[in-house]
Structure 1
Amino acid sequence: MFTGLCAAAVTAATTLLVLGQDGTVGGTVTRAADGEERAGEPAEREAEQDGSGQDAPPEPTYEEQLATATPVDPDLSGPGSFTVVPGTEPGAGRGTELTYRVEVEDDLGLDPELFARAVHTTLTDERSWSHEGRYSFERVDEGEADFVMTLASPGTTAEWCAKSGLDTTVDNVSCDSASTERIMINAYRWGEGSPTYGPDLVREYREMLINHEVGHRLGLGHVGCAKDGDLAPVMMQQTKTLSSGSATCRPNAWPHPEG
């Protein structure tokens, strides 16, 4: 009888309370007959938390990332070399088919994946140039392309735009360098937006940049604000102003805002 009780005591697992440094109960540890200690539920829950003991915050959504400004030196001049952002995506339209590649200047400090996603999401939106299937923009990452969407420092943007006779140093803007393969998106403007859109419309400003410069690649020129209070035409130079004469328009990112 006594022998059996001893055996049971040896084989049974023992549950101990684990005390924290302040003397409070912090969880349980189960010590099995083989001497190994196994953590209880409180330790498992702790593994799901960050180092502060709080639940880790959710990752920001694409929309939140695109709406968040990033400081960029307006006088930044990068190395002038570019890296292709990997990835291919089909076009959304049924009409004129165009291919494009996404490249970002090296050492720029901006998120290349976010830029690439923004370009394709914008161009395939029904409010963009794909409206009613008129154009189909296919993203490629190798071989020939009809144009290259390029995110570059203000200095490098100015160099490439000058190849097509354009001066982007005035107001630090972007351009379609039409005599080259590149559409140049100025990293300063991409990062910080413009006073005409303000801090609450960073996402809309970035979408406008993409649509505006691709519109030039499609052969469209600048237009002004036709009527006070209207949405600005996407081909208006909205980075510089929303006014034409006595008419002032509202910010607008899309060639077909009605969708």
Structure 2
Amino acid sequence: MTHQGYAPHDRPLPGARSGGHPEQHEPGAARGTGAAAGAVYGDWQGVPRARSAGPRPSAAPPAPVPVPVQARSAVLDGDTPAFGTPAVGFPRITLDPPPAPRRAEPDPFTAAAFTSTSTGARPRVPGPRLPVEPPRPAEAAEIEEAAAPPGSGRGRRLRTYTGLAAVAVTTVLAVVVAGQVASDDDAAGPGALAAPGGSPSRASDSHAAGSRSEDRMAPQGPARPEVPVAAPELTYEQKMAERLPIEEKLAGPGTFDTVPGIAKAPGRGKLVRYRVDVEQGLGMDAQLFAEAVHRTLNDPRSWGHGGARTFERVPGGEADFVITLASPGTTGVWCAKSGLDTTVDNVSCDSAATDRVMINAFRWAQGSVTYGPDQMLAYRQMLINHEVGHRLGHGHVSCRTAGALAPIMQQQTKSLDIDGIPCKPNPWVFPGN
């Protein structure tokens, strides 16, 4: 019979086993002399014993007796004592090598070939191939530590490295789990955790309270500039009902701007073309003034009533007259060209000697006492109809019936009570239609 790992004995010891694991010796230790020296192992008590052929007992071996360093050194160095001094009084000790790691038995499901026996070949058993799990780092470290020679210090280093690795892995796992829990809490929102009874847990309440506190205590960035909210667009009637600021004795430069664009005549009848000019520097809405003129003249209650006329605004060229919005001083200048004095009551006029129908900007902006501030739209319509009536050839007319509407050609800016007959304000030529 062939033995693996050590030479056969001339005289086998009782209970000695054949085969098994190879011998493992302490580095630097002498194996002794003679065949019997290699086959006999000593224990920590110094009593020789033979190697057993059967399995090792499951009971733990007796506790080792500490061996003095000098004696151990002498034994490990073989027959020669350390430093030339014989080890007197200490028995010869041979260290028993630690057991080698167990080999994994071949898996019948993963065997690569038939197993030869004396009776023939045994076929491979069909079935699923089960992977053999390699030892984990901790188990590998234990195996390598067990295989390390005693006293070499390698086992301690392995235990230290294994412990550090385990601590690192545990720390990483704890960080990952904590991050996952925090992410789940954020996704669930405040109050997501609940106690077994269904009510929110204290942890959830404290978390929500902490979140609210953090929100309240969070530093605020620079204040954003407030964007002015655009006022809603006013209607034509709303714009025409507003009073405008102006000086009573304002005198403008006497230069004018023509309102561009064309406003087509909307009706049938005799076509009357007009142009609209606004003095520079008034600060008033020229487009609104032009719109007011066009709407007023083409209203059925105005001079185009019954299809008699239709009015069209043009930016230049052949215009029958020019309706001009001017300051009180400029209005007085143009009215004086036709022998009219508007400075006494700060009124408007039709300068018949020229092509301009003058509308006093002070009256346009402030109205009159006869109409009051609540009837600005009606007063402005009366100004346009009254002065254009002069251009169309109509003179002044006074009210003859008390309590009736004043005729459009009455001087309503000055008074609604002429010759003791009180009348009501009226902006239209044909007010009943």
Indicate the TM-score class for this superposition, using the shorter chain for normalisation. 0.7 to 0.9
* Corresponding letter in the other structure for 2:240: L
* Corresponding letter in the other structure for 2:390: H
Q: Please state if 1:141 is matched with 2:334.
A: no
1:92–1:130 CA contact under 8 A, matched in 2? no
* Corresponding letter in the other structure for 1:189: R
Q: Please state if 1:169 is matched with 2:348.
A: no
The runs of 5 or more residues in structure 2 that have no matched partner are: 1-186, 188-211, 219-225
Partner of 2:285: 111
**Deviation digits for residues 9-28 of structure 1, max 9, x if unmatched?**
xxxxxx9xxx9x97399xxx
Query: What is the TM-score of this pair, normalised by structure 1?
Result: 0.80
Q: Helix, strand or coil for the counterpart of 2:216?
A: coil
Partner of 1:180: 354
Rounded to whole Å, the distance in 2 between the matches of 1:113 and 1:154 is 20
Structure number, greater radius of gyration: 2
* Corresponding letter in the other structure for 2:257: T
Rounded to whole Å, the distance in 2 between the matches of 1:193 and 1:22 is 57
Q: In the superposition, relative to structure 1, how do residues 56 and 224 fare at CA in structure 2: closer, same or farther (>3 Å)?
A: same
* 1:51 to partner: Cα distance: 2.4
1:93–1:134 CA contact under 8 A, matched in 2? no
Runs of 4+ residues over 3 Å off in structure 1: 21-25
Partner of 2:369: 195
**Deviation digits for residues 175-195 of structure 1, max 9, x if unmatched?**
010110000000000000000
* 1:99 to partner: Cα distance: 0.4
Partner of 1:34: none
1:84 to 258, 266, 272: 258
The runs of 5 or more residues in structure 1 that have no matched partner are: 1-14, 26-49
Partner of 2:107: none
* 1:56 to partner: Cα distance: 4.4
* Corresponding letter in the other structure for 2:369: P
Q: In the superposition, relative to structure 1, how do residues 24 and 107 fare at CA in structure 2: closer, same or farther (>3 Å)?
A: farther
**Deviation digits for residues 28-77 of structure 1, max 9, x if unmatched?**
xxxxxxxxxxxxxxxxxxxxxx726xx64421111000010102111000
Question: What is the 5 A alignment of 1:1-259?
Answer: 23=216, 51=227, 56-259=230-433
Rounded to whole Å, the distance in 2 between the matches of 1:255 and 1:248 is 19
* 1:258 to partner: Cα distance: 1.4
Q: Helix, strand or coil for the counterpart of 2:272?
A: strand
* Corresponding letter in the other structure for 1:77: A
* 1:107 to partner: Cα distance: 0.6
* Corresponding letter in the other structure for 1:116: A
Structure with the larger strand share = 1
* Corresponding letter in the other structure for 2:255: S
* 1:92 to partner: Cα distance: 3.0
Rounded to whole Å, the distance in 2 between the matches of 1:258 and 1:61 is 25
Q: In the superposition, relative to structure 1, how do residues 24 and 95 fare at CA in structure 2: closer, same or farther (>3 Å)?
A: farther
Rounded to whole Å, the distance in 1 between the matches of 2:261 and 2:340 is 30
Q: Helix, strand or coil for the counterpart of 1:211?
A: helix
Q: In the superposition, relative to structure 1, how do residues 247 and 22 fare at CA in structure 2: closer, same or farther (>3 Å)?
A: farther
1:78–1:155 CA contact under 8 A, matched in 2? yes
Rounded to whole Å, the distance in 2 between the matches of 1:215 and 1:92 is 19
Structure scoring higher RCO (CA < 8 A, sep ≥ 6) equals 1
* Corresponding letter in the other structure for 1:130: G
CA RMSD of the aligned region, Å?
A: 2.9
Rounded to whole Å, the distance in 1 between the matches of 2:347 and 2:289 is 17
Number of aligned residue pairs: give it: 224
* Corresponding letter in the other structure for 2:298: T
Rounded to whole Å, the distance in 2 between the matches of 1:174 and 1:56 is 36
* 1:239 to partner: Cα distance: 0.3
Q: Helix, strand or coil for the counterpart of 1:23?
A: helix
* Corresponding letter in the other structure for 2:216: G
Q: Helix, strand or coil for the counterpart of 2:295?
A: helix
Identity %: 59
* 1:196 to partner: Cα distance: 0.4
* Corresponding letter in the other structure for 1:238: Q
1:122–1:207 CA contact under 8 A, matched in 2? yes
* 1:108 to partner: Cα distance: 0.8
Q: Helix, strand or coil for the counterpart of 1:254?
A: coil
